[in-house]
Amino acid sequence: MAVNKHFLFFVSAFLIFVLDQAVKWFVSAYSINVSFSFVKIHFVKNMGVGFGVLNQSNIPFLRWILVGIISVIIIGILYYYSRSSERLFSVFALALVLGGAIGNLSDRVLYGFVIDFIDVGFWPSFNIADSSITIGIILLIIYSWITPTLSSINKNKSRTSSRKKRNI
């Protein structure tokens, strides 16, 4: 049974969003503060952008500027998705980015900041949405490298098969 492109895209994005929001709620509601050998899980308010950039800035209306930028990015993702191929790899990668972007957008709208909770010490705190966005972008980069190779392989196969048909 073939997987429906739209089902994969919207369900994956929704699941990322729900997982991100559920864990953020749990960490903030129960004041989780747990340390493991290499990671600490605790509530962090991120007033800035990715990886805490502009976290201490006093830019007026930064919250709403970021909400506007993220909204435009989400619209861009949806537009790109509507034009994308049927390849499930790229559809899933876009869903990861969309789910993460909506997760962080909802934090900005509801609280004025993004809830981060994963702290590995040497890197700024982050959350599931940030991880999802990062993994999705990496997968899209890989897809963009692989696609031209696949296209050239398919073109060569079709040329070879058409030559064989002519020779028959």
Residues 6+ apart with CB under 8 A from 81: 9, 91, 94, 98
Check if the beta carbon of residue 127 is closer than 8 Å to that of residue 20: yes
Point out the catalytic residue in the list 20, 107, 119, 130: 130
119 a catalytic residue: no
Between the CA of residue 166 and those of 34, 153, 154, 155, 162, what are the distances in Å?
69, 20, 18, 17, 6
Single-letter amino acid, residue 64: W
For 75, the token pair is 């619209």
Point out the catalytic residue in the list 20, 107, 116, 119: 116
CA atoms within 13 A on the CB side of 27: 23
Between the CA of residue 60 and those of 37, 46, 66, 115, what are the distances in Å?
39, 16, 11, 20
Q: Is 123 exposed, middle or buried (0-12, 13-18, 19+ CB in 10 A)?
A: exposed
DSSP state letter for 31:
T
116 a catalytic residue: yes
Which residues have a catalytic role annotated?
116, 130
